[in-house]
Amino acid sequence: MPELRLLFNDLIRFEIEIWNAVDTRLKADFDLPLAQFEPMSVVERIPCCRVYDIAGELGITTGGTSKLVDRIEAKGYCRRLPNPKDRRSSLVELTVEGRWVLTEAGRAVDEELERWLADAVPQRTLRQFAATLTQLRSAAQQIGAEPGGWPGSLIQRAKPTL
């Protein structure tokens, strides 16, 4: 269906445009790429967060996530602590500075999203779009779980690198 390809192209192009806009704002205002803001948001949201948890939330490899956490840690925004339940892994937590920058950067992200999304279409349309995306993502996860579905490595390669 050619119209599905057009939809796919529009979806991908818009994702790239909005990612770049938010990324540019975060880099300019906080020297914080969106690729680092995202894992920090996961750490804030998940208690006793591990690198594995961040990788699962963002749909990227554990190795790539570990490197991201290294970069965030080098900036002083997070630290790794021993995991009392599993000596093979560590827990990731935000530092005081990391929480502050995440809060401030979060305000900038919200402003950009308002500009790109909320100001562009009515709230009802955004709610419908969000519900549709949730449905599509759920269906895609089911396809991936079926025999003959997507191999995990294919999904990993197809996602944008954070």
Domain coordinates in residue numbering, the chain = 2-120, 122-162
- Rounded CA-CA distance 85/77 in Å is 24
Alpha helices in the chain (DSSP H): 2-30, 34-45, 51-58, 62-74, 96-113, 123-145, 152-158
The structure's pTM equals 0.82
Distance separating the N- and C-terminal Cα atoms of the chain: 31
Distance CA 64, CA 67 (A): 5
The CATH-assigned architecture of domain 2-120 is Orthogonal Bundle (1.10)
Q: Count of CB atoms within 10 A of residue 50's CB?
A: 21
pLDDT (tens, 9 = 90+) of the chain, 162 residues, equals: 679 999 999 999 999 999 999 999 999 999 999 999 999 999 999 999 999 999 999 989 999 999 999 999 999 999 999 999 888 889 999 999 999 999 999 999 999 999 999 988 999 999 999 999 999 989 988 887 665 555 444 444 444 444
Bridge partners for 79 per DSSP: 93
Predicted local distance difference test score (pLDDT) of residue 137: 86
